[in-house]
């Protein structure tokens, strides 16, 4: 359990803010194996309270609490060396849905949950589908 995670287990605590979640995400990135840490460093990390409305509409998601993270970019398996980047690849982490899931679960540390969401989205950067991820990671069941 990280120092940041431990601070959130006290009886009287303020909800982790955006900076707290970003710190946990950066801790998780630092713990990645060498082969994927380098690729992860090239991805923008965006931590916000909720997905932007236009993102929800594009994904056809009505309840903003249904989505904890999102990879926004072109997977490495689909990139060509001559492609002109339109925008930097980004991993979005949504604070309020993550905190809601953390509270509802009650059986996992916030840093563990956040790391899982981050790694799930990073897997999409490597070109894995949700089905590919689910085949080896039964976390959401």
pLDDT band at 11 (very low <50, low <70, confident <90, very high): very low
Tell me the per-residue pLDDT of 26-41, one tens digit each, with 9 for 90 and over. 999 888 888 788 878 8
Domain ranges across the chain: 15-74+88-136
Q: Which CATH architecture has domain 15-74+88-136?
A: 2-Layer Sandwich (3.30)
**Dihedral sign computed on CA atoms, order 18, 21, 26, 32:** negative
pTM of the predicted protein model:
0.81
Helical (H) or strand (E) element with 47: strand 44-48
Cα separation of 52 and 38, whole Å?
28
């Amino acid at each position: 359990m990280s120092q940041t995670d431990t601070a959130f287990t006290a009886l009287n605590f303020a909800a982790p803010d955006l900076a707290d979640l970003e710190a946990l995400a950066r801790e998780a990135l630092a713990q990645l194996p060498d082969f994927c840490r380098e690729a992860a460093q090239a991805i923008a990390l965006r931590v916000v309270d909720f997905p932007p409305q236009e993102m929800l509409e594009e994904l056809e998601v009505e309840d903003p609490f249904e989505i904890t993270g999102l990879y926004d970019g072109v997977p490495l398996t689909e990139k060509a060396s001559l492609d002109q980047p339109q925008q930097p690849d980004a991993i979005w982490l949504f604070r309020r849905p993550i905190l809601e899931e953390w509270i509802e679960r009650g059986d996992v540390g916030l840093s563990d949950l956040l790391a899982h969401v981050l790694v799930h989205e990073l897997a999409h950067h490597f070109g894995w589908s949700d089905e590919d991820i689910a085949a080896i990671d039964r976390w959401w069941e």
